[in-house]
Amino acid sequence: MKPLKAQGMKVLVVGGGGREHALVWKLAQSPRVEKIYCAPGNAGIAQLAQSVDIKADDVSALLSFAWENKIDLTVVGPEAPLAAAIVDTFQAHDIAIFGPSQAAAEIEGSKAFSKDLMQKYHIPTAAYGVFTEVEPALAFIDQLASTQPAQSPCPCVVKADGLAAGKGVIVAASVEEAKEAVRSMLEGNSFGEAGSRVVIEEYMEGEEVSILAFTDGDVIVPMVSAQDHKRIFDNDEGPNTGGMGAYSPAPVYTEELAPIVEEKILKPTIEAMKAEGRPYVGVLYAGLMITQEGPKVLEYNARFGDPETQPVLMRLESDLVDIIEAILQKKLDQQTIRWSEDATVCVVVSAKGYPSDYEKGQVITGLDDVLDNVQIFHAGTTEADGNIVTAGGRVLGITAKGKDIREAIELVYRQTEKTTFAGAHYRKDIGRRALERLS
């Protein structure tokens, strides 16, 4: 790929959530960028970029827009357009775009594919089975349960094979709950086509950590660590969500652990994808469980995570455009990426009812009264009658930076109390595990 413009760049960001707001916010800091478009965007993004009324997975409309508006670089946020071959399509028209190909994005698009890849290339992960029929799946659950220690809180984890917006994972508290999840997916069509095939895994005990990494297909450079909070309620209770908050760094990810993950998981994954004829370029997200046997892969995502991107990018000191250009030119090994030593915490504020049916149209107050070292990233928001109102399940990602996790937590919750709407819900324990490890 030829070099990007030194200045005056037009950039298109695809997506409209909190991750995309963080990407727009970071890209806007580059002196090389003149104008940013975002499709479809949201009310917060509209303060930094021109919103474009095109859905994130409408690849043909996005291509036409990029061509007609002479876009210099497109950055893809969510997984759906990657699975719909947006990168392949743009590259075929010689338009610079950042993200993995459709074939490479299958590492997220199919959990069965990723599990088979890990097994083939000896990348540590949980024991598993893949099923399209109910009876063999139920028998496998019984088999897994019989091998679990008596004190294990769960017999297994049931996952929809395809994309399910972060909600297609059931951590079953009992054998019957696991079997009900299988029946719901395979017979009840609870996740549509995404759940027509299920992956059943042994339950792994430990603490989770998210490692996002830049890669040009040959070189992989990890970003600073983060920890996500998937469950809707405090103390990791209730159903899974797209993510209710995250913080960086995660103390569980020690200096001793980092090189092990790089050598046993990250580098082998990139080598495996290359060996499979699916070279991986972009951001690889490895969701890890730190077990007594060492780090193991829970899942991969083929893009920036949400909400991890918000606290991670708030710590990035280098120009994101420079990093992307180095990746697209396969010169990542020549790039020095700088990170702040500060800690960051993101608290997601969700609408009443989320992750099930949720309310929309609630007026958000306190958006103009923002404390120093705080960024309010919009996710599900829109403008109506001169007000910013709720328009999604996850509404805001309030993110604060402090000299340490304790200071960042205190600051983010001070802001969260000030910025609210009717029915607003947020977890009160984001970052608690970090405080416990550091105390």
Average pLDDT, the chain: 94
Query: Considering the domain boundaries, does residue 395 fall inside one?
Result: yes
Q: What share of the chain is helix, strand, coil (3-state, %, to 5)?
A: 35, 30, 40
Query: Considering the domain boundaries, does residue 282 fall inside one?
Result: no
Same domain, 346 and 438: yes
CA gap 199, 180 in Å, rounded: 14
Phi, psi of 376, rounded to the nearest 5 degrees: -100, 105
Which residue type does 282 have? G
CA gap 256, 263 in Å, rounded: 12
Domain end call among 144, 177, 202: 202
Query: Considering the domain boundaries, does residue 283 fall inside one?
Result: no
Residue 186, both tokens: 């395979």
Residues belonging to the chain: 439
Q: What is the mean pLDDT of residues 292-307?
A: 96
CATH code of the domain covering residue 89: 3.40.50.20
pLDDT at 286 over 70: yes
pLDDT tens digit string along 383-392?
999 999 999 9
pLDDT tens digit string along 137-178?
999 888 888 877 665 656 788 998 888 766 678 888 888 889
Same domain, 131 and 55: no
Burial zone of 320 (CB within 10 Å; 0-12 exposed, 13-18 middle, 19+ buried): buried
Query: Considering the domain boundaries, does residue 117 fall inside one?
Result: no
State the total domains in the chain: 3
CATH code of the domain covering residue 155: 3.30.1490.20
Domain end call among 162, 184, 202: 202
